[in-house]
Amino acid sequence: YQPSRAPSIPKCEETGGQFKVAGPLWLGPLHDFDIVDEAVSRLEKPGGTEFQLQTKARLHGLLTAVSEELSDVPLYYTLPDLCHTLRCASPPLNKVKAALVNAGYRVSAYHKEPQAIKTDAPNRIVWDVMRAWCKENPVKNSKKKEKEKKRRRLF
């Protein structure tokens, strides 16, 4: 399965690329936070489970990540995908988060993808942060001139 290109939708203002068609998309809450909180408290309580869990630490980490996730933001960005588009090295996740928080937006991790962020920042702000990173940390060896020309158009 490959996402198709939408013929009548304009190009992305930030990258100049065509939008991909996908769906359906669930926009409602993914988690019941009362149940997540109850599960975390049971894992933290000594003897809180009736049986021995071999993956207790891993499960606790996952549930903690879920509980800290922005519940009203349905989509997420993966840093490797953003950096692939810009042809730059991936910045540290905490630097991207700090830049978005300093710009006045909320940011969280995404429980399923370690290199992803969820934020209420508009696309243009996320791309501005990534472009700033690329300017401070330029690609040292660009082998293909065409790729470099495409990258420069984004700035």
* 145 Cβ contact list (under 8 Å, min separation 6): none
pLDDT given at position 26: 82
Distances (CA, A) of 63 to 28, 36, 99: 19, 6, 26
Closest CA relative to residue 74, chosen from 22, 34, 124: 22
**For each of the chain's 155 residues, which pLDDT tens digit applies?**
566 665 666 777 777 777 777 778 888 888 899 999 999 998 888 776 677 778 888 999 999 999 999 989 988 999 999 999 888 899 999 999 999 999 999 999 999 999 999 999 999 999 999 999 999 988 766 555 566 666 666 66
